[in-house]
Structure 1
Amino acid sequence: MSVFDELRKLSSAEDFFEALGVDFDPSVVRVARLHILRRMGEYLATNDLDTASDDEARAACREYLARAYADFVASSPIAERVFKVHKDAIKPAPAPAKPFVSLTTLTTNGN
């Protein structure tokens, strides 16, 4: 069974840490569990592990989980903005639409 098959069967963030042998502080994981796993997924998506051996894939997963965890030890879920709702929260509001003025309503001052 590959490391990815093993990870697919896990049901909690803590299970990922235990399966990959990454130390963690439960209070950090309690606050940012989904964010950490999502960030790990983003890191995994940037690398092609299809041709990697199982040991290489496991090492990469361990490294990416540790890196994702470190992101949230040093920061917060809102500051890291992993999910769309947080990314959208910092987008500037669209400028209000300017009122339409028909040309037929314009008049000149006699100049």
Structure 2
Amino acid sequence: MLDEMNALSSAEDLFTFLLLPYDPAVLDRARLHVMKRMGEYLARIDMDGLDDDAVFLEARKALKTAHADFVASTPRAEKTLKVYARKPANMVQISPVQFAPQ
């Protein structure tokens, strides 16, 4: 089952394969984030010993939950990717330089 899912070429294909509806606007703005979040949810599940039907249901639940995370939120707010999760660098502001009169 996981091999079949890995062979799919797009997020839309994965939603179709798992028989889930999706909001195209969510995928337009958060495709990578939804897929990464799904992977995080799947990583928490021990798939050993699960038959194909159970794997299908777990993958479906993970994708549905990941999509829902971004329906009312943004990638920046969810901090799925490392770039959003890291703390901003300390910034020192320099006061405007003043030139001496000539």
Give the alignment's TM-score, normalised by structure 1.
0.78
User: How far apart, CA to CA, are the structure 1 residues paired with 2:4 and 2:89?
Assistant: 43
Residue 94 of structure 1 and its aligned partner are, at CA, apart by 4.7
Deviation of residue 73 (structure 1)? 0.3
- Output the TM-score relative to the length of structure 2: 0.84
Per the alignment, residue 89 of structure 2 pairs with 93
Moved over 3 A (4+): 92-96
Q: Distance in 2 between matches of 1:92 and 1:36?
A: 23
| Structure 1 residue corresponding to 2:32, chosen from 28, 31, 34 | 34
Question: What does residue 57 of structure 2 align with?
Answer: 59
Give 5+ residue unaligned stretches, structure 2.
93-102
**Which residue is equivalent to 2:46?**
48
Aligned residues: 92
> What is the aligned-residue RMSD (CA, Å)?
1.4
Identity score, percent: 49
Number of the residue aligned with 1:108: none
Separation of aligned partners in 2, 1:61 and 1:17: 10
